[in-house]
Amino acid sequence: MVPETPKLTVDAVTILNGKIVLVKRKNPPYQGKFALPGGFVEIGETTENAVKRELKEETGLSGEIVKLLGVYSDPDRDPRGHTVSVCYLLIGKGVPVADTDAKDIEVFDITKIPELAFDHNKIINQATEDIYGILSKM
């Protein structure tokens, strides 16, 4: 018997040209709301590869992982069911283009982040010190 476990996801806090990359969700849940690029980890895939793949699929950007920000596991963080997200801080490279699950892409100043889907405001708020550390070096 296979035990029922949470689904594994990744989220990318991505800095591009001194701003944070957000995608406007094309699909439910939170359709039309901004969120961090991210998604489900595929079988046989590392979380590091998954976050780079999801960033590329949703935004067209490549990304260099700077650090692991944390693991977010509140059972209520996703209305579709219990998900656990491994969140990374990345430096984005390229020109953003909305694709797959993204209706649109915008970059935001860290002080002007809108209300986001899921627990993504919490993730960004907890990453603020790391984000400012990178921005100070740019």
Q: Is residue 62 part of a domain?
A: yes
Which CATH number goes with the domain that contains 107? 3.90.79.10
Q: Is residue 99 part of a domain?
A: yes
pLDDT at site 1: 79
Where in the sequence is the domain holding 122, given as residue range(s)? 7-137
pLDDT at site 33: 97
pLDDT at site 138: 83
Q: Is residue 2 part of a domain?
A: no
Angle at 58 between CA 62 and CA 134, to 5 degrees: 45
Between 85 and 137, the higher pLDDT residue: 85
Q: Is residue 121 part of a domain?
A: yes
Backbone angles phi, psi at 42, to 5 degrees: -85, 155
- Other CB atoms within 10 A of residue 29 CB: 12
Q: Which two tokens stand for residue 135?
A: 């921005």
How does pLDDT run across 62-104, given as a tens digit for each residue?
999 999 999 999 999 999 999 999 999 999 999 999 887 789 9
pLDDT at site 100: 77
Q: Is residue 61 part of a domain?
A: yes
How does pLDDT run across 13-59, given as a tens digit for each residue?
999 999 999 999 999 999 999 999 999 999 999 999 999 999 999 99
Q: Is residue 1 part of a domain?
A: no
For the chain, the domain total comes to 1
Q: Is residue 44 part of a domain?
A: yes
- Sequence-separated contacts (24+) of 74-79 with Cβ below 8 Å: 74/119, 75/6, 77/118, 77/119, 78/9, 78/29, 78/118, 79/29
The answer to whether 48 and 132 are in contact (CB under 8 A) is: no
